[in-house]
Amino acid sequence: MGWTHYFHRGKLNEDWADELASHIEIATDENIARGMPPAEAACAARQRFGNATLHKERIYQMNTIGFLDSVVRDLRYGLRVLGRNRGFTAAVLLTLAIGIGANTAVFTVVDCVLLRPLAYPRPDELVAVRQMAPGAAGLASLTDGLRLSASMYFTYSDHNRVFQSMGAWTDGTANVTGSFEPEQVRTIAVTDGVLQALGVQPAAGHWFTKADYRPNARQIVMLSWGYWQRRFGGDRSAVGRDIIVDAQSREIAGVMPRGFRLADTDADVIVPLPFDRAKVQLAGFDLHGIARLKPGVTIAQADADLERMLPIWMNSWTNGPGTTGKIYETWKITPAIRPLKQDVIGSAGDLLWAVMGTIGLVMLVACSSVTNLLLVRAEARQQELAIRASLGAGRRRIVRELLVESVMLGVLGGILGAAIAWAGVRFLVALGPRNLPRLGEIFLGGRGIVFAALLSIAAGFLLGLFPALKYAGSRVFGALHGTTRTSSASRERHRARNVLVISQVAMALVLLICAGLMIRTFRALQTVEPGFTDARHLQILRVAIPDLLIPEPERVIRTQNAILDKLKAIPGVSSAGFADAMAMEGIEPRWDQILAADKTYRADEIPPLRWYKYVSPDFFHTAGTRLVAGRDLTWSEVYGLRPVALVSEGLARELWGTPSAAIGKRIREASSLPWQEVIGVVQDVYENGVN
């Protein structure tokens, strides 16, 4: 019997009934022709063809699939049973929906962030070129080790034996003016080799050419898909047109495809990063490195190749007359190449797996609750199950009916859970933390739906299996005769529920302890003074003034001062200041060696590296950063170019013992720069989070 007969069995039954009626009618006519009365003729004809109902049942069995037919009947019966117990059904569905929805949402995040490959051709070949410098005092606080300098990029690109292509890049902002409303956009500046390593072909136009990376080359730019759609409406004729980027006219060379990002960095425009080899020095470690490994090359081999090139780098470049690269030997620079995907994910993987395990415990607690409900309900239905057994239903049939009901609950809960997961994922993407990698790539797709479906079916099956096996055996028949109403049976009946309750309480206790620890940690973090106050009322505005637009430094300062005056005039603004980066903004501060005039340093060492910022008067007051000793900057000192500076409380204590002792001391960034007088000490500021 084929599937065609099964799905058309109603019509086949009707055809058979019509044919049987036709044969009976013909036989009746023949009997009448023989002289029989009509009533006797019809009765004889029916007797001749036998029991019509039996024939109908046989034809029905021939045109059906027994197991499937019984499952369909079980589904219909289960729906009626669940419909009669709406309160129970609603409680179970809500519990399962929350558990399945939470697990599906977290799995979607884990899948999109950790499991899915990066959106590049052959992403396993892509690596982030990283380095560590354990001997460089002060660099331990940097988030991604020692970045590349331009001289390192040239050395590694020219002399490597392990990369198909290799490049360096950095991100920033730029002002786009001209045809449209002025706009500050995100930028990525790339050297030759970056786009070749990624291997992502433009959606329109072409990549940069090698000539575009030379100093004084033509000014050119590539657009992201989103910026192209937003500003040009997706018009392909935009390629070849000019836009003004930081007061420079640049020709649009191409458009990158939808969803393109460099590692985990989005940008509106991509520009070439030209370097003049004749002016490149050893220092300037501010570039991210990216490369594509040659087939068969391992990361260990790539690390060894970079280790081989480090002496070449030290011997090929200097930091100016009288300097040598040998001084960097004290930094003990060590290659630390890792897969680009691992570099993108960072430490988020451990956190996401921990969240996945925690949500899994929540699902187990929910399953325990539902299993208890099913046990109570199965116990209440013992009389019904016993009657069904006495009418011929075997144990397998009863078990199957109970399992079908529980699986239906699981599937319905999974449908509601998928809706909850979809809403949760949308909420996370809209309001998620900026430091969550691949945030823009998170969506509830096919794999998330399959996960929800499998979890729903598995949960429904396992939830119903225990009650089905427990109440579909001999105790069903005992319930019919009242033999289960004994104290021993009562103890046995409650034993299973007690085990489930104990398991549920144990898992809930684990979750409660974890939640308590997290709350305690959160409260401890809240007590840390980050170095600024009243963060809810601190507003950040980033303004970039291109050098070509205002080349004179004093005019730049006066323009910034005028911006501050206009901001202060806004109702509700109590004060305003500016700096090159705000704490915890996600922008790594500048760093370099800081020398103290009253300290001695060996010629063969680099002093400890420090973070520093350029700030305006009133910046610390606006941020709420407390002045520990001395005074703040003044505008007369800024415009008069007086060499003054403020230091942190931690640096003051390290170098001079107390904050007050730092006042009047002199420091400078490098031996070639003038000394600056310390006029104030401010409290320590946390740059990368209070943890």
Per-residue DSSP letters for 444-466? --HHHHHHHHHHHHHHHHHHHHH
| Token pair for 153 | 């990029």
Which of 503-512, 564-573, 635-644 shows the lowest per-residue confidence on average (mean pLDDT)?
503-512
Average pLDDT over residues 49-66: 58
CA angle 644, 321, 285 (to 5 degrees): 65
Average pLDDT over residues 275-295: 93
Alpha carbon distance 332, 329 (integer Å) = 6
> Tell me, what's the pLDDT at 391?
56
Per DSSP, the three-state class of 51 is: coil
> Tell me, what's the pLDDT at 389?
58
From residue 26, give the alpha-carbon distance in Å to each of 29, 497, 563, 659: 5, 66, 105, 118
Per-residue pLDDT for 483 more than 70? Answer: no
Contact of 259 with 119, CB cutoff 8 Å: yes
Sign of the alpha-carbon dihedral angle for 321, 322, 325, 331: negative
Residue 676: phi and psi, rounded to 5, are -125, 135
Rg (CA), the chain: 38
CA angle 35, 39, 44 (to 5 degrees): 75
Question: What's the pLDDT band for 225 if we cut at 50, 70, 90?
Answer: very high
CA angle 452, 454, 460 (to 5 degrees): 100
| Token pair for 262 | 């460099």
Alpha carbon distance 504, 229 (integer Å) = 53
Per-residue pLDDT for 151 more than 60? Answer: yes
> Tell me, what's the pLDDT at 351?
84
| Burial classification of residue 245, based on how many CB atoms lie within 10 Å of its CB (0-12 exposed, 13-18 middle, 19 or more buried) | buried
> Tell me, what's the pLDDT at 52?
62
> Tell me, what's the pLDDT at 308?
96
Contact of 252 with 221, CB cutoff 8 Å: yes
Per-residue pLDDT for 3 more than 50? Answer: no
> Tell me, what's the pLDDT at 135?
85
| Token pair for 318 | 């200097």
Per-residue pLDDT for 567 more than 80? Answer: yes
> Tell me, what's the pLDDT at 185?
92
Which of 172-181, 565-574, 624-633 shows the lowest per-residue confidence on average (mean pLDDT)?
172-181
Average pLDDT over residues 625-639: 93
434-447 per-position pLDDT tens digit: 778 888 889 998 99
Average pLDDT over residues 90-116: 90
* Dihedral in degrees, nearest 10, Cα atoms 666, 616, 654, 610: -100
Question: What's the pLDDT band for 593 if we cut at 50, 70, 90?
Answer: confident
Q: At what angle do helices 348-380 and 487-526 cross, to 10 degrees?
A: 150
Per-residue pLDDT for 8 more than 60? Answer: no
| Token pair for 496 | 């299973």
> Tell me, what's the pLDDT at 181?
82
> Tell me, what's the pLDDT at 49?
63
Average pLDDT over residues 568-572: 92
> Tell me, what's the pLDDT at 1?
47
Mapping DSSP onto H, E and C, the string for 113-164 reads HHHCCCCCCCHHHEEEECEECCCCCCHHHCCCCECECHHHHHHHHHHCCCEE
Mapping DSSP onto H, E and C, the string for 67-126 reads HHHHHHHHHHHHHHHHHHCHHHHHHHHHHHHHHHHHHHHHHHHHHHHHHCCCCCCCHHHE
Which of 35-49, 354-368, 617-631 shows the lowest per-residue confidence on average (mean pLDDT)?
35-49
Contact of 194 with 222, CB cutoff 8 Å: no
What's the longest Cα–Cα distance across the chain?
139
For the chain, the average pLDDT equals 83
591's CB contacts (< 8 A; 6+ apart) are 138, 139, 142, 609, 610, 611, 612
> Tell me, what's the pLDDT at 6?
47
